[in-house]
Chain A
């Protein structure tokens, strides 16, 4: 057994949320530069230039990339030989989020009751935590501050096996088309296929955090990613929805075994401010 103290967990979560909210990773910055050189619309070009410049300013001054610093999503891969000591795990994660959002001048966007009170919790907690037990004696965290302009455009379809790859691609493209300018294009589209309804959406969200442009290792799924991306960009929605060839920067598909009678497909939409950071304890 390897002991990990909850203070280390709290500090790690805090550091990762600060990092994610201030700095866009290298691969995404590069993908945005490529998009700028490929874009044919002059408005589209100027929008992409503004986004690139914005990311530089945020990183240099250590201020939020976007004012919607999102709900705090945390994926945990917990090594089964880890023994957590010193306190409550969930509390440590929430404390890390609270400290990051308070001390890092990040907006608190969580309301306690979704329907009635809708009172701000003022700490940006509770975090949304997904835990997976894995072999080993380490903990891996992937944090994603998730803005809601894009989250609101996400969708789930319980397709039938007969719908096949074509039906899935059609659903992905339709979802992006319907979203239009609202999710702050250019977007990154996470797709989860299979499992159960909720599992499909969880893997769709996690797929967003994949290193941008890395295709699914399964060739057939990689081909679907490519086809969906091409069809989406042929919609012409463009940067900020003001027309152009860059509507989406990448489609990341992930899949799981599912039931003989079904084919769940979840589309999780993320804006160009696709913020995530990873750390291992």
Chain B
């Protein structure tokens, strides 16, 4: 098995370039959550040339809509949601300095091209490993759009969040390279 790389957020170009498709990583630091509704609002602001409620430079967005937290837990079960729904919104956010995205499933060619151009990485979390992932989320606070409930933009502090580099900043894509090796 490949070695597990520990990374801390925020990420810079140098860190991003060293991450290769197939690497297992453990992420520590702050990450932001966002799914369909929050992305839509961010893009509307950008279209109007208005300031975003958070500085995306070097940041990582996790596509997630968690379950409610049980009392005494910072966060409920929180596995990744399907990423392709965020594809149309992603390139403008990468232009704003977003360095990483965590989700599940394939990305569009436009997103991959923009990741190469802006040096960003797409990390896969294991869909359905939601209780395991929730344990690595140590703190959670809402930073924007509280009216969206579970879909509001949260800031998580994570320790050793497990993910796999699925598409790296060179455009290598595990979804394309790996399955053919096991095809019969």
Contacts and interface: CB of A to CB of B under 8 A. Distances in A.
Contacts of B132: 50, 53-54, 57
Say what secondary structure dominates the interface of chain B.
loop
Given A240-B104, A241-B105, A105 B131 contact: no
Interface string A38-57: 00111111110011011101
Contacts of A184: 104, 127-128
Contact of B130 (A64, A120, A237, A244): A64
Contacts of A271: 127-128
Interface string B67-90: 111100100111101101000000
Interface string A181-218: 11010000000000000000000000000000000000
Nearest to B71: A105
A46 B1 contact: yes
Contacts of B127: 66, 149, 181, 184, 240, 271
Contact of B179 (A58, A107, A235, A273): A235
A264 interface: no
Contacts of B129: 50-51, 53-54
Contacts of A105: 67-70, 76
B131 A64 contact: yes
Say what secondary structure dominates the interface of chain A.
loop
A237 B179 CA distance: 5
Interface of B: 1-2, 22, 24, 64-70, 73, 76-79, 81-82, 84, 104-106, 124, 126-135, 149-150, 162, 164, 166, 174-175, 177-184
19 contacts: A43-B178, A50-B162, A63-B73, A64-B131, A67-B78, A105-B68, A149-B82, A180-B105, A181-B175, A234-B184, A235-B179, A236-B179, A238-B179, A240-B104, A242-B178, A243-B180, A243-B182, A244-B178, A272-B128
Given A64-B131, A243-B174, 14 more contacts: A41-B178, A46-B1, A51-B126, A53-B132, A54-B128, A58-B130, A66-B79, A67-B66, A149-B82, A236-B180, A236-B183, A240-B104, A240-B124, A243-B178
